[in-house]
Structure 1
């Protein structure tokens, strides 16, 4: 009964083990699903690579740095030149101001001599007290002769006039002056002189003089003439001076090409325009340059502003000491900084050299970064498809070299794992075959025991012999199971190493994704800056259109001036030469504007091309980031599959442990069989009853052996998909 209970227990253990084996997942199905996932990974387009992105970044960074430094140097040189020219122009303007102040003092001294002249005072008194027309005429004649003596020897004076403040008496004139009492008393300048009391008042220039009929422009000085005894003010003295005298004093002052010197009164109107002979209509017109009204800056200084043509000019001004006027010198900024254009040209040349250098560096980056990454990607894809013999030949000390070494280590570990697993599968398959043979023999023996129940007593010795053979065979199976356990443990260690290498590869890919995101932000910022530069070039083109229209207008004015000079005949030859020079200057301006327009058009096209390249590169860069993320997902998939593989190894280990326990039970059963054989003569009836149970146990052992052989065959077929050579 004791032996019967032990056999029943072994039978239940075999059934439990068989049910556990039925629940074990199929390794072949898991491998096929993993392989399908790898084949679904799309290959990356070589154009959408990290190397191309790095090349564009390096190219743009070097080019932008060179342009920023060059343009900053150009701007700084312009500022230095403007400051130096402003200082030198200020010195010239101060010297010219002193020279004109001396001339104004001489005129003021002349007016004071006339005012204090005793003959003039006496005749003025006689004119005021004359009883008849003859006495008045005689005193006016003497007064005119006295004025003539002061004016006659001075060619710069047009003439002088003494005008009564009230009444309808005629004015006393000398020289070319023909100012009438009626016109003078109604004029604003007469009131201005009266408001000055006895002080000298300088009057601005008039195109046709203060009489309104002078052949050329004049300016004047006036003061109230008071009686030296009674201090009564009854007359006003006006001395007219040729405006060209101011131009003569300033003709030797040279501030630079296309510069101009003007005199502006306290109201901001032009007393002396830059070209009074060619543009007399500008006399008395407001100055295009505005000046401060108060403070030290109202006396003298410099400023950058625009002239009447819209051109940027550097204006330097200084106030006269004796006259409430300002001497203004203006120099075109374009003429000042034209030499600094060499810096700008040099900047473009250096930018071209820097662009070539950036291309070389970009190609080096592609060779050092992009090509090794593509090679590693191709090797990974080939290894994922089952070729475990691939190895990377990249020998570098940087992160890419470390990644290649990690890849080689990972493939080596996987190869070792597959080889060990393959060997273990072969050992398990051989053991399963032996176990199957032994199980079949045991089944045959059980059937023979069932058939020969009546002959057990006579064949006890033979049964004992067979039991000893079964015991030896069970010991041999135990040794084979121990080898299988050892190989399975080594396989588990190798799988853990592969999983660790996959985790390290995932870490490197996460770092690469983060750096690629930073590069994307820099590219987006570059696109925005290039767009702003594009808007600036459009503004320059609008300004060039305005300048071109102004040049056309200047040509028209020059043509009109030439026609008028031709009508004037010989008297207009000088004016025709000036008009021709104006036309030439306008043609030169038009040619310069055309050249600048062509340069601006070239810059606009290059900016458009840069915007198009950046716009095209940006989605490419986005696809590159997606490809890096997909490569990272491949690492994660490999890591997960290796985790599943380790789990399956654990399941195989557990199954082998159960098989080992079954082998121990079988060994004990065979020992019991030997005891039964020795006692068979006494327990023949009990052996007969147990023969049926022994037969069923043997059949179960056969099924278990067949199951183990099927699993071993499937494992071998799965591992055969990997190539290690």
Structure 2
């Protein structure tokens, strides 16, 4: 038997279909779950980090506003204004001028002592050649008057200008940032110089407090040109910030946003918000890897599930091969044996009640019917062959007798006694031929009955196969209906998913509202403590709602995934039912061919019956002729010519009988040769 290619077998195709579909589905779902989780975590952390940065910005704005208020108090201080006016009086002695300057300096020192965040306050003259100043200690460097910030403050003409942190300081205090503005005397309206309020850089740290947007994060205050004003790393001050936040602001036009950036080859999520008073930016950067490290669990779980799905696919494929492919292969092999003429093959009784079991039972019934048919036909063919041999012998004898009758006819003239003897001998031979012909008629009737039984069995087999085709089509319709119902159920779960998304958005808005309420309560101080408790409870309730929604979403996703797998399995089983219908239709064609061949055999058998009937009629004529010969034996002389004519006719009939006998013998041999191909 020629072995089929294993790769093209139904079992291998089923195994590959199950393996590829299950593994691909699990892998795609896992990758999408990981990417979605990563995106959700990143988005939520970005939102929370932005809120944290906004709160920190408010604190820095509050600090800078206090410093500007102090500068305004200095400008509106009557003591300072009066002494600055008096300092310019030309009538004052040098000693009085010195005391007046000390009074202004002491008044400025009092502001420094009253606020621990301030490092020093100085009034700088507009030009380096002005010798009369209110300073009595440190001498200003010429570089101070040439610094870009000095010109910037002069051009602002009284507007507060915030100067970034300087490690060297601006006047007296290193590691400080400063507020500069043109100082005008409120009494005289004259410009007295530039007021420089130097503030300790630690004030920024105290104002920010403990600000963290995630593990491994860093917070920095940067200027509009991306220079570091404050950072936990002191060495970074006055240097360019590693992440170009200013470029992102310039390209997007958003003063407050978040974006992805790369720092030292590592991916960071950067959040920033502007400080309204100074135009600076507070920027926070957190490694994305730290944010999404919990999402790695989903990735690891995906690999585990892929391995489990591979095992499951192999197991399902093996079960499909065992339950479907192997029985089909066994039935195919048996049918190929039957097609080669081996009618002894039978399927084993597996006790299965499904279509495979019914197919096996139908195959056994079909082979039983064909075996019985061939057996009966073989017996009938043997009988026809034996009868044909006897008929052939009788025909030859009849031909020989006809020849002898012809010779006897020629010798009729010799004597009536010789004619009577020959007539009696012809009468005896005619009786023998009659018996043989009757025997052939009986054998032919048995063959017709056997052929009718074979035709009936063939029609029953064809009817059984038609019924099997109908049932298989019904099964196919049920499978298709099941797929449609599962797809409708899947659409319902999609609707549930949309509702859960809406509830999740409501929970997110509730969280934001509770956070805003907490901020407002914190600003309100003691009066807002009760409102803060309510905001905390609302946040807890929102978190609990979110957890419940996540659990329901996971259950819904799992149900949807299982329904998708069910649809995939039913869709893959549908082609198998179609292949089964094709196989059953092929078997139905085989039955129809058998029925057609049996119809042809019946027609040929009918022709043999007609020929034997003609032979019987001819034998009756011969018998009558011999009787007439015996009756007119005494008149042989007068009727010799008539007897000669009858003898010629007898010879012609005998030749036809011989030909019919040979034809019947050839037909019997052909039938026997056809049946010899089957093994029973």
**Equivalent residues of 1:304, 1:315 under 8 A apart:** yes
Query: Partners in 2 of 1:240 and 1:674 — Cα distance?
Result: 160
| Aligned partner (choices 246, 252, 259) of residue 217 of structure 2 | 259
Q: CA-to-partner distance for each residue in 1:524-577, whole Å, 9 max, x for gaps?
A: xxxxxxxxxxxxxxxxxxxxxxxxxxxxxxxxxxxxxxxxxxxxxxxxxxxxxx
Q: 1:631 to 1:177 in 2, by over 3 A?
A: farther
Residue 51 (structure 1) shift = 1.8
CA distance in 2, matches of 1:637, 1:424: 26
Shift of 1:48: 4.3
1:380 aligns with 2:341: no
1:710 aligns with 2:673: no
Residue 432 of structure 1, CA deviation: 0.8
In structure 2, the residue corresponding to 1:452 is in which secondary structure? helix
On the 8 A contact 2:625/2:646 being kept in 1, the answer is: no
* Pairwise CA distance, 1:342: 3.3
CA distance, structure 1, for counterparts of residue 191 and residue 127 of structure 2: 10
Alignment of 1:112-123 (within 5 A): 112-122=72-82
CA contact (8 A) 1:450 1:691 kept: yes
Query: Do residues 219 (structure 1) and 177 (structure 2) align?
Result: yes
Q: Distance in 2 between matches of 1:307 and 1:115?
A: 46
Partner of 1:277: 234
Q: 1:332 aligns with which of 284, 287, 310?
A: 287
CA–CA distance in 2 between the matches of 1:629 and 1:491? 26
The verdict on how the C-alpha distance between 1:335 and 1:106 changes in structure 2, with shifts beyond 3 A counting, is same
- What CA distance in whole angstroms lies between the structure 2 residues aligned with 1:685 and 1:705? 31
Q: Which runs of 5+ in 1 are unaligned?
A: 1-38, 513-623
Q: Residues of 2 paired with 1:250 and 1:480: CA distance?
A: 120
The equivalent of 2:501 in structure 1 is none
- Residue 656 of structure 1 deviates from its aligned partner by 1.8
Q: Name 1:594's counterpart in structure 2.
A: none
Identify which of 646, 649, 669 aligns with 2:621.
669
The reply on whether 1:655 has 2:607 as its aligned counterpart is: yes
Q: 1:435 to 1:247 in 2, by over 3 A?
A: same
The one of the two structures with greater contact order (alpha-carbon pairs below 8 A, sep at least 6) is 1
1:355 counterpart residue number: 310
Name the CA shift for 1:490/1:714 in 2 (closer, same or farther; >3 Å): same
Q: Structure 1 residues 315, 689: closer, same or farther in 2, change over 3 A?
A: same
Give the Cα separation in 1 of the matches to 2:89 and 2:592.
129
Aligned 8 A contact 2:226 2:245 in 1: no
How far apart are residue 260 of structure 1 and its match?
0.9
Moved more, 193-202 or 150-159: 150-159
The question of whether the paired residues in 1 share the 8 Å contact of 2:260 and 2:268 is answered with: yes
CA shift for structure 1 position 100: 3.0
Q: Contact 1:270 / 1:287 at 8 angstroms: preserved in 2?
A: no
Cα offset for 1:227? Answer: 3.2
Q: Give CA deviations for 1:568-614 in whole Å, capped at 9, x if unaligned.
A: xxxxxxxxxxxxxxxxxxxxxxxxxxxxxxxxxxxxxxxxxxxxxxx
Q: 1:667 deviation in Å?
A: 4.1
Match of residue 147 from structure 1: 108
Aligned-pair distance for 1:425? 0.8
| 1:483 aligns to 2:446 (yes or no) | yes
Q: Which digits, 9 at most, give the CA deviation of each residue in 1:368-408, with x for residues without a partner?
A: 12221221222122222221111112443333233323322
Deviation at 1:657, TM superposition (A): 4.4
Alpha-carbon shift at residue 326 of structure 1 (Å):
3.5
CA contact (8 A) 2:102 2:134 kept: no
Residue 429 of structure 1, CA deviation: 0.9
Report deviation, 1:644. Answer: 6.9
Q: Which residue of 1 aligns with 2:386?
A: 430
User: Residues of 2 paired with 1:646 and 1:170: CA distance?
Assistant: 138
TM-score of the aligned structures, taking structure 1 as reference length: 0.66
How high is the TM-score relative to the length of structure 2? Answer: 0.70
**Match of 2:678, SS?**
coil
Distance change (3 Å), C-alpha of 1:662 and 1:88: same
- Alignment partners' CA distance in 2, 1:171 and 1:275: 41
The answer on 1:228 being equivalent to 2:186 is yes
Distance 1:357 1:438 in 2: 78
Q: Distance in 2 between matches of 1:498 and 1:433?
A: 35
Q: Helix, strand or coil: the match of 2:180?
A: strand
Q: Which residue, out of 127, 149, 158, partners 1:198?
A: 158
Q: What displacement does 1:435 show?
A: 1.4
Distance 1:273-1:48 versus aligned 2 partners, 3 A rule: farther
Q: CA deviation at 1:46?
A: 3.8
Matches within 5 A, 1:97-496: 97-122=57-82, 124-125=84-85, 138=98, 143-151=104-112, 156-165=117-126, 168-169=129-130, 180=141, 183-184=144-145, 186-210=146-170, 216-229=174-187, 231-233=189-191, 235-250=193-208, 252-265=210-223, 267=224, 269-280=226-237, 282=239, 287-288=244-245, 298=255, 303-320=258-275, 322-393=277-348, 394-453=350-409, 454=412, 455-457=418-420, 459-460=422-423, 463-464=426-427, 466-495=429-458
C-alpha change, 1:470 and 1:660, in structure 2 (3 Å) is: closer
Change (3 A) 1:54 1:67: same
After TM superposition, the structure 1 = structure 2 runs for residues 53-132 of structure 1, keeping only pairs within 5 Å, are: 53-75=13-35, 77-79=37-39, 81-82=41-42, 85-86=45-46, 89-90=49-50, 92-122=52-82, 124-125=84-85
Give, in whole Å, the separation in 2 of the partners of 1:341 and 1:689: 117
Contact 1:157 1:242 in 2 (8 A): yes
Once residues 294 and 381 of structure 2 are traced to their aligned partners in structure 1, the CA distance between those partners, rounded to angstroms, is 87
Deviation at 1:189, TM superposition (A): 2.9
Q: Distance in 1 between matches of 2:41 and 2:226?
A: 30
User: Contact between 1:158 and 1:177, CA under 8 Å: does it hold in 2?
Assistant: no
For residues 470-619 of structure 1, what are the structure 2 equivalents within 5 Å?
Answer: 470-495=433-458
The answer to whether the 8 A contact 2:611-2:660 is kept is no
**Corresponding residue SS for 1:55:** helix
